[in-house]
Amino acid sequence: MNEVARIGTHVKGLDERLEGGIPVGFTVLISGPSGSLKSSLAFNMIYHSSKDQGLKSLYLSVEQSRESLLKQATSLGYSMEGMNDLNIVDLANLRQEAGGTGRENWFTSLKDILIRYVEEFDCQILVIDSLDALYALSNLENPRNEIFNFFEVLRGMNLTTFIVSEMPREGSSFGKYGVEEFLSDGIIHLRLREIEVGKTTSVRRYIGVAKMRSTKHDLDYYPLLVDKSGFEILVD
């Protein structure tokens, strides 16, 4: 029996294919193209971890405003009533917290801000949405080196971290600089694929676990469904 403590993905059908979920303390990429449900999946994980497992979390929304993220969550049927352990911080909050000129290297200043927030909220789970938004805000002189250091800081914080990473629809690299995938302990890959339905072309969402250290899992991609009752994979 595997004794590692795990955090559920809370995607129906997926956790049992992951020995129960993601090992506590892991840094996991959620990679996929725009609209593949990266943010919603990350939100779903911390929402249920908080509601069902009593874990405290911080969602760092660099791309979307707090308001827009909450709007999307409401549209997907999540009620925020009593969810006091789920903290959302957006770029406007970050800028205020940084108190700088706006020209600083975000990647560097974020580390200190993150440590402060994590202490303040006493949280066990962190979501960074997205890595690419941080890249866009930073002037990385030596990206591979700075990313390496950033992951080191995350590892040192004793958290389970989900990092959202944008990738092109047909891309094969899970992060912009290629180092993200081997620095992370796990990769959840969201894909969009076009299929022909009669005369119409439609796009379907798929989810696969491309990597999860310390975990026996398959490498299959499953259709991913989401509605007001939650996330679910379709299994034959």
Ligand X SMILES: Nc1ncnc2c1ncn2[C@@H]1O[C@H](COP(=O)(O)OP(=O)(O)OP(=O)(O)O)[C@@H](O)[C@H]1O
Residues lying near ligand X in the complex (CB under 6 A) are found at 32, 34-40, 63, 72, 75-76, 166, 226-227
Minimum gap (Å) between residue 65 Cβ and ligand X: 12
Give the residue with the Cβ less far from ligand X, 76 or 98: 76
> β-pairing, 186-197 with 27-32?
parallel
Q: Are 192 and 35 in contact (CB under 8 A)?
A: yes
Minimum gap (Å) between residue 40 Cβ and Mg ion: 8
Minimum gap (Å) between residue 184 Cβ and ligand X: 17
Give the residue with the Cβ less far from Mg ion, 165 or 215: 165
Q: Which does 76 bind (CB under 5 to 8 A by kind): Mg ion, ligand X, none?
A: ligand X
Q: What is the 3-state secondary structure (H, E, C) of the chain?
A: CCCCCEECCCEECCHHHCCCCEECCCEEEEEECCCCCHHHHHHHHHHHHHHHHCCCEEEEECCCCHHHHHHHHHHCCCCCCCCCCEEEEEHHHHHHHHCCCCCCCHHHHHHHHHHHHHHHHCCCEEEEECHHHHHHHCCCCCHHHHHHHHHHHHHHCCCEEEEEEECCCCCCCCCCCCCHHHHCCEEEEEEEEEEEECCEEEEEEEEEEEEECCCCCCCCEEEEEEECCEEEECCC
Kindly compute the dihedral angle of the four CA atoms of residues 204, 31, 15, 64, in this order, to the nearest 10 degrees: -90
Minimum gap (Å) between residue 159 Cβ and ligand X: 21
Q: Which does 160 bind (CB under 5 to 8 A by kind): ligand X, Mg ion, none?
A: none
Give the residue with the Cβ less far from Mg ion, 39 or 165: 39
User: Exposure of 51 by Cβ count < 10 A (0-12 exposed, 13-18 middle, 19+ buried)?
Assistant: middle
Q: Which does 32 bind (CB under 5 to 8 A by kind): ligand X, Mg ion, none?
A: ligand X
Minimum gap (Å) between residue 51 Cβ and ligand X: 19
Give the residue with the Cβ less far from ligand X, 7 or 224: 224
Give the residue with the Cβ less far from Mg ion, 6 or 174: 174
Q: Which does 37 bind (CB under 5 to 8 A by kind): ligand X, Mg ion, none?
A: ligand X
Minimum gap (Å) between residue 86 Cβ and ligand X: 16
Binding mask 22-41 for Mg ion (x = CB under 5 A): -----------------x--
Say whether residue 61 binds Mg ion (CB under 5 A). Answer: no
Give the residue with the Cβ less far from ligand X, 100 or 168: 168
Q: Contact positions toward Mg ion, by CB under 5 A?
A: 39
